[in-house]
Amino acid sequence: MSDTLTFTIDGKECTARPGQNIVDAAKENGVYIPILCHFEGLTPAGTCRICTVKVNGKCMAACTTEVAEGMAVENETPEINDMRKVILEMLLVEGNHFCPACEKSGDCELQAMAYRYKIMAPRFKFTFKPRKLDASNSKLILERNRCIFCKRCIRGVLTEDGKHVFAFTKRGSEIDINIDKELAAKITDEMAQEAMDMCPVGSIIRKEQGFAKPIGARKYDSKPIGSDVESKAVNK
Amino acid sequence: MSKPIVATTSLAGCFGCHMSILDIDERILDLIELVEFNKSPIDDIKTFTKQCDIGLIEGGCCNSENVHVLRDFRKNCNILIAVGECALMGGLPAMRNGIPVKECLEEAYLNSPTVDDKIIPNDSELPMILDRVYPCQDIVKIDYYLPGCPPRADLIWNALVALIKGEEMVLPYEVVKFD
């Protein structure tokens, strides 16, 4: 079997390794596919669907779909961009995000994606569903108002002996993110920072660390999300 | 051709968006050349004296007066622009949306440590507090949205000039922000 696969994204010829998913392969070829639930080092879960692309004409989650030889991927088309916009708008109205009051504002991936897709205001009504904040942990604040249920923290924040610190409770519209109080009590500063960095929104916040960076110096203040990936394509 | 007529108002907001309008700095002299202001805190005209072309709305609706003013703007302005986070999504006032109104009023007027006369205001002259804070598009049709808290002065300037001149709006990445 060849160790290099060839495929196309919006007509651009790309290469990938066998077993590589579309998102990661695209990234290596300088093509940005937006991701919220996917995170480097974690097994893809396909929970948020923002990475939806068309593979040979069929909608697929790019993070959970492996590249196959000769695959034709559609990524930046008006139809897919609008689909992504709809997903972002639904995430914006379902949570209580209140960007101006959020410690993660400027570093938030959901917000940055809304900028990238030029969302001035969501087309749906805000739900304003009451959600509770949990500040009982000594190092972290779990701000449920901003959670988008991407499952990154559940998959990625584990104790040394492999126990999950975060977990979902309930299902469907009643789903909630929770923190294991006993395990969280033993959380180190490094783990707390790792959890905050892993959260794509401002749902996991380190205590006494908020608003650490001034406006203008934050991650997405001057460059759109994905521009680092795309700049590699220019230099290739 | 006569100048386009602009009206502005602040509902449940902090007037920060109006401050951002003033932050266009010396371009305000150009703006005066471009438009005529009608009902607005900028010129202190209290009531509409003519039909307006553009209405800028800052703030969401937290009480019955806000709803009245907003509907009045919709009637008197051909184009309505929601300006800022509060107008678009309720903003910081909407942080009370998860708390019952009774609890909010009791906290503000009965239980707050700085309150002397423990009375919940109940005068018929006072506007009724709504069950929650509503973004403007929940009450009337909004034509355009300018996000930000406040929207950058350049965003307001670019949008207004584009609208007045019938040009496409230029939106540099740095000027469209939600905070």
Owner of token pair 């965003």: B155
Banded model confidence at residue A234, pLDDT cuts 50, 70, 90 = low
Mutate to test the interface with A, among B86, B89, B133 (most CBs of A within 10 A): B89
For residue A160, pLDDT over 90 is answered with no
Question: Min CA distance, A1 vs chain B (Å)?
Answer: 45
Question: Min CA distance, B27 vs chain A (Å)?
Answer: 24
Contact B88 A121 (CB under 8 A): yes
On chain A, the residues whose CB falls within 8 A of the CB of B176 are: 115, 118, 120
Compute the Cα dihedral for A225, A119, B95, A96 and give only its sign: negative
Mutate to test the interface with B, among A90, A96, A97, A126 (most CBs of B within 10 A): A126
Contact B179 A131 (CB under 8 A): no
Contact A115 B145 (CB under 8 A): no
What pLDDT, on a 0 to 100 scale, did the predictor assign at position A233? 76
| Digitized pLDDT (tens) for each residue of chain B, 179 residues in all | 689 999 999 999 999 999 999 999 999 999 999 999 999 999 999 999 999 999 999 999 999 999 999 999 999 999 999 999 999 999 999 999 999 999 999 999 999 999 988 999 999 999 999 999 999 999 999 999 999 999 999 999 999 999 999 999 888 999 999 99
What pLDDT, on a 0 to 100 scale, did the predictor assign at position B13? 95
Report the percentage of chain A scoring pLDDT > 70.
98
The residue among A86, A97, A147 whose CA lies nearest residue A122 is: A86
DSSP string, chain A: --S-EEEEETTEEEEE-TT-BHHHHHHHTT-----SS--TTSPP---S-TTEEEETTEEEETTT-B--TT-EEE-S-HHHHHHHHHHHHHHHHHS---GGG-TTTTT-HHHHHHHHTT-SS-SSPP------EE--SSSEEEEGGG-----HHHHH-B-TTS-BSEEEES-GGG-EEEE-HHHHHT--HHHHHHHHHH-SSSSEEETT-TT-S-TTSSTTSSS-TTHHHHHHHHH-
Question: Is A115 at the interface with chain B, CB within 8 A?
Answer: yes
Query: pTM here?
Result: 0.94
Residues A32-77 have pLDDT tens digits of 999 999 998 899 999 999 999 999 899 999 999 999 999 999 999 9
On chain B, the residues whose CB falls within 8 A of the CB of A121 are: 82, 88-89, 137, 142, 145, 147
ipTM: 0.92
Question: Min CA distance, B143 vs chain A (Å)?
Answer: 11
On chain B, the residues whose CB falls within 8 A of the CB of A113 are: none
Distance between CA B51 and CA B75 in Å, rounded? 9
On chain A, the residues whose CB falls within 8 A of the CB of B146 are: 120
R_g of chain B, CA atoms, integer Å = 18
